Structure 1
Amino acid sequence: MNSPPHQRPSHHDSHTPQDVIFGPGSPLVETIIGQDLEYESIVWHSRSSPSPNSSQDAEWLNDHPGNHSMAESYRRPSFIASGPRSTVVAALSLPDHGYLSRRERDAIRDEERGLLRDSNCLPRERIDRDARGLTIGKRLSLPGLRKARSHQDEESRPGMLRTGSGRGVSETSPLLTGSVVTDHEQQTSNEEDIDKKWEEAVVAGKIKTTWQREVKVLGRYSSPLVLTFILQYSLTVASIFAVGHIGKAELGAVSLASMTANITGYAVYQGLATSLDTLCAQAYGSGRKKLVGLQLQRMVYFLWLITIPIGIIWLSGTAILRAIVPEKDTAALAGLYLKIILLGAPGYAAFESGKRFVQAQGLFSATLYCLLVCAPLNALMNWLFVWQFNLGFVGAPIAVTITENLLPLCLFLYVRFVDGMQCWGGFERRAFKNWGPMIKLALPGLVMVLAEFLAFEILTLSASWLSATHLAAQSVLSTLTALTFQIPFPVSIAASTRVANLIGATLSDAAKTAAKVALIAACFIGAFNITLLSSLREYIPKLFTSETDVIQMVACVLPLCAAFQLFDALATNCNGILRGLGRQEIGGYVNLFAYYVIAIPISFGTGFGLHWGLYGLWAGPAVALGIVASVEGIFIYRVSWERAVAEAQTRNSMG
């Protein structure tokens, strides 16, 4: 799982329900799912099996909430880019999902209850200690995961009864302690009551929110995402730390190899796998859960097939890079790096596909648990292989390869022993058929991700034309700016989800308040990053390398990187708010214009034309981020929130 030092996190690593490329109305999606459903109907008819999935169909129908609930109006924001600066290609109008998983519905029900209580439309209630569930520390253990799962299974058992106090009824329980109702009856009654109160409160304009509440919601949504993204990015940082102290050529080679691997390999995997965001979700929403596993198999086989041409490029990496990069020794080391990590490419492809498999089921914490295991192991292996076993530079790609193969294995163990097996129907020959529509659906996602990667990878390639010292310094700077990005980016995801929920619930004032809180939070985050990079600019480079000239160059350019942290945080959260408003095309066009029309010409002009070197290369992104934050901020300030609500209602009614 080796991403470049300056790669931004992928939205697929998050565990919030939000990111798709095409919605349920896409003809390609309808073709793929329709053919699979038709095939299953034929098979079931030939076997004379009466309604084999009737229970699943009933469960799927039960997952569609009432017309007036916040859940019914919920829409998933658009595809969040996985490239360096969260650039979004707005080539498509992104429709909504037509379903909600049970976990998503329950989460939104809780938000409805909270807003109703804050607006004095529901009485405050005391939450039992048992109802709060496990603590975070207990959840992270395997027994805690099993306990949580068994608790959910027990609650959903059809034959279970509840008394008026809410406790389970056993064979020895008194019969006359109170009214006895089934779980389903009680849940239906509660949901209908909330739906009614919600409708009345919305119509009366009683639903309000406060900045204090939105701060809590934003923190609750974003905090686990920050942890997930930092853990994932640590996989790259570990290699930079381990190799950086060997020499500047080795440090530059890691950055150059990562750039090549991402453009020619990892970006291809990520881009093509984005089609599963729709295919797995639609298969799950159709009620035929086994089709989710079928879509997973198709994508894994397809990505493994794509690995053949990718492998040819990586095996020829030394010759290709020597023809492009003037530093021949650095090119040779980068080519060696590519040859070794090729062994981990199939595992990376399987993990990228597997993430979509679990996310389609609402299991957004599965990736976090895998990273909690693999990230510390990756850091340990880098230290052991590079320094303790004296393998040197070769030790870093070996650690990466092992980690990339461990990640899908951990995800498999999670699905097998914790949750997710309900969508696995075993290996099927159908996985080798019906690839055409899937490939057509995947190609736009590939274009999106590649466009995002290229914008910042060009800087790394350009730095290699200056000197080995410049390339090594570029590797450190891009790592640092990407590391600081791990805070505002998760906040933008949380803001996107929150604004989308409130807009879908026709709460324009509440959505506006949530957006203001997100932008203010971005200012605090930007100020924190500025202070951190500025005050420690003499010390941070020493963590990555022992080369004096590299340390001095990084310390010289780092104030510029620190200066645009405020714009970086604001631009990122503006993008998130625009996604929540359903106006992601604004962010897409502004980002593409700023990076490809403004940033790259300025970088080349100042870096090479004015001979500013690395300082000039980073001047372009600094100006671009300022433009993005300003333009999008003005748009958000002038946007009509009432109109956004009306547009969301139109989309939902059409869906």
Structure 2
Amino acid sequence: MIADAEHSVHPGNAMIRTNDEYPITETSALLSHADPELAHERRTTDGCVKGPDATSKSVDDAFTQTTWQQESRVLAGYSVPMILTFLLQQSLTVSSVFAVGHIGTTELASVSLATMTANITGYSIFHGLATSLDTLCAQAFGSGRKDLVGLYTQRMVYFLWLTTIPVGVIWLFLAEPVLIGIVPDRTVAHLAATYLRIVFLGAPGYAAFEAIKRFVQAQGLFSAPLYVLIVCAPVNALLNYIMVWRLQWGFVGAPIAVASTHVLLPIVLVLYIRFSRTNAAEDGDAPCWTGFTSKAFRNWGAMIRLSIPGLLMTEAEVLAFEILTFAASRLGTTILATQSVLATLVLIEFQVPFALSIATSTRIGTHIGAARLKAARMGLKVTLFAAALVGSINMTLFIGLRSVIPSLFSSDPEVINNVANIIPLFAAFQMFDSLATTCNGILRGLGRQEMGGYVQMFCYYVVALPVSFGLGFGLDWKLWGLWTGVALGLALVAAIELAYIFHTDWKRSIEDARVRNLESD
């Protein structure tokens, strides 16, 4: 079970004691977000956030004795901008679909196939590998080793850039022959491969943005990526319009626009970090960014050990849902159209629990890095309550609007009826999805991604998909059967991960974080 005893560690040169009789020497921006009355948030020249009263007793006490209300405010403050960030980031691809969709049906099918392929073989890989920073940067920031936040980020940028090499091999050389072998229409396959070859030019930018995004999130600056996307998303839409229609470049204009935006994202974020400071750093403040260093090219072991399970966690779910869509295509055009509506709904509703998951990773990771065991336990309770609340709200909305939602996506009476009939099962799916996604965030905060990776691989590919195929095709339940299997898999993910979270040794996570920070110099 989660231990009640507090734990003292010595991360690097900074001592952090969590017993109430000792003062805490570590400073953090996170509680200044949670309660503005404690300290006013400040930006320093190094990109860190700090409060002018960070050494006062009131703030020290707040670090050790966080409350339900404080944790709730922090999670809400982190999650809301993250939801908007994810939606705007999704719009980068959606803009291409809208722009190209008006050219013709073949072009629409091609861009849809290309974006799905890019997501599975590229973007999800970058995102999954970068989730190790949810652990490393948050724990380093919480421990007071803020210099490691920048060091971990540098390592991840270089690691992701190396990863673009095999991604490039797939997109540039292998995509077309593979897609031609899968897709009956050679024109669709050729155009999709053309899209991938062009959009690859923006892959290094996308990868860097995913890493640098974690740099600011570890400091509690969840609004920074949102501000960047508020600038870049309209630019992307404008570029799509200009290149596809005004310049009459047609289909190839869309991937050029997306690639250009992906290159722009990290540039704007770095400029934001550089120029958004409000005050100079105070003496003795630990910098988050100490400049480029050769240290970034060594000691990658801890990062890779966390990155690979993070990749498994991400790819397992993404690929499972894509397999579900391919399976639905074998049940007829109407069933596939119904599945497309449900997949779109999943993409929209998933942004809320996923944002909560990222916020949870950062919050619990910071507490673990600072050896604040009681605060981490409080964060766990608040997080699980929030996950159940989000799942309940989503369930209520889908059931209450079951007669309205289908008509927003289709005018086909059969599709509308199919969606309305399956929404009760889809609504129950929301609770499992919310809990499972949030548990993934808790595991990342603890540095226990490997458990999540194993659980998801087992639940999706040993349980969920076989059950889906057995019910959907064997018992002829069709889409009901396919979604029953996935709902069962998610319920199993949530149950196993919850049991693990409540029975794992959280003090060991604190010690592991301390060792990782010491070994990363």
State the TM-score, normalized to the length of structure 2. 0.72
2:78–2:222 Cα contact (<8 Å) kept:
no
Q: Match for 1:219: what amino acid?
A: A
Cross-structure match for 1:417: 275
1:460–1:474 Cα contact (<8 Å) kept:
yes
Q: How far is 1:395 from its partner?
A: 4.1
Cross-structure match for 1:322: 180
Q: Match for 1:477: what amino acid?
A: L
Cross-structure match for 2:356: 491
Cross-structure match for 1:534: 402
1:238–1:378 Cα contact (<8 Å) kept:
yes
> Distance between the aligned counterparts of 1:247 and 1:455, measured in 2?
29
Cross-structure match for 1:458: 323
1:251–1:475 Cα contact (<8 Å) kept:
no
Over 3 Å counting, the alpha-carbon distance change for 1:154 and 1:524 in structure 2 is closer
DSSP 3-state at the match of 1:506: helix
DSSP 3-state at the match of 1:257: helix
Matched, 1:312 2:169: yes
Matched, 1:262 2:128: no
Residue in structure 2 matching 1:397, options 242, 245, 255: 255
Over 3 Å counting, the alpha-carbon distance change for 1:504 and 1:271 in structure 2 is same
| Structure-to-structure mapping, 1:430-509, within 5 angstroms | 430=294, 434=298, 441=305, 443=308, 445-463=310-328, 474-494=339-359, 501=367, 504-506=372-374
Residue in structure 1 matching 2:202, options 313, 336, 344: 344
Over 3 Å counting, the alpha-carbon distance change for 1:445 and 1:489 in structure 2 is closer
Residue in structure 1 matching 2:236, options 352, 372, 378: 378
Matched, 1:621 2:486: yes
DSSP 3-state at the match of 2:405: coil
> Distance between the aligned counterparts of 1:405 and 1:615, measured in 2?
42
Cross-structure match for 2:30: 107
Deviations along 1:315-336, one digit per CA (max 9) or x if unpaired, are 3422211212344443233223
> Distance between the aligned counterparts of 2:197 and 2:385, measured in 1?
47
Cross-structure match for 2:89: 232
Deviations along 1:576-628, one digit per CA (max 9) or x if unpaired, are 56666887776555433321122211233344445555554333213323444
Cross-structure match for 2:19: 68
DSSP 3-state at the match of 1:534: coil
Cross-structure match for 1:332: 190
> Distance between the aligned counterparts of 1:438 and 1:577, measured in 2?
18
Count of equivalent residues = 493
2:149–2:288 Cα contact (<8 Å) kept:
no
DSSP 3-state at the match of 2:433: helix
% identity of equivalent residues: 48
Over 3 Å counting, the alpha-carbon distance change for 1:499 and 1:608 in structure 2 is same
Residue in structure 1 matching 2:464, options 596, 599, 602: 599
2:135–2:446 Cα contact (<8 Å) kept:
no
DSSP 3-state at the match of 2:374: coil
> Distance between the aligned counterparts of 2:388 and 2:258, measured in 1?
38
Q: How far is 1:340 from its partner?
A: 2.3
2:160–2:207 Cα contact (<8 Å) kept:
yes
Over 3 Å counting, the alpha-carbon distance change for 1:607 and 1:481 in structure 2 is same
Q: Match for 2:196: what amino acid?
A: L
2:137–2:218 Cα contact (<8 Å) kept:
yes
Q: How far is 1:456 from its partner?
A: 2.4
DSSP 3-state at the match of 2:406: coil
> Distance between the aligned counterparts of 2:447 and 2:137, measured in 1?
22
Q: Match for 2:30: what amino acid?
A: A
1:304–1:349 Cα contact (<8 Å) kept:
yes
| Structure-to-structure mapping, 1:123-162, within 5 angstroms | none
Deviations along 1:22-47, one digit per CA (max 9) or x if unpaired, are xx99xxxxxxxxxxxxxxxxxxxxxx
State the TM-score, normalized to the length of structure 1. 0.60
Q: How far is 1:282 from its partner?
A: 8.9
> Distance between the aligned counterparts of 2:100 and 2:414, measured in 1?
17
> Distance between the aligned counterparts of 1:603 and 1:464, measured in 2?
14
> Distance between the aligned counterparts of 1:432 and 1:107, measured in 2?
26
> Distance between the aligned counterparts of 1:624 and 1:265, measured in 2?
25
1:248–1:468 Cα contact (<8 Å) kept:
no
Q: How far is 1:368 from its partner?
A: 2.1
Cross-structure match for 1:143: none
> Distance between the aligned counterparts of 1:439 and 1:583, measured in 2?
12
> Distance between the aligned counterparts of 1:312 and 1:602, measured in 2?
35
> Distance between the aligned counterparts of 2:49 and 2:391, measured in 1?
45
Q: Match for 1:455: what amino acid?
A: A
> Distance between the aligned counterparts of 2:216 and 2:372, measured in 1?
25
Over 3 Å counting, the alpha-carbon distance change for 1:281 and 1:582 in structure 2 is closer
Residue in structure 2 matching 1:564, options 408, 412, 429: 429
* Structure 2: gaps spanning 5 or more residues: 1-9, 282-286, 517-521
DSSP 3-state at the match of 1:342: helix
Q: How far is 1:378 from its partner?
A: 2.5
> Distance between the aligned counterparts of 2:441 and 2:49, measured in 1?
38
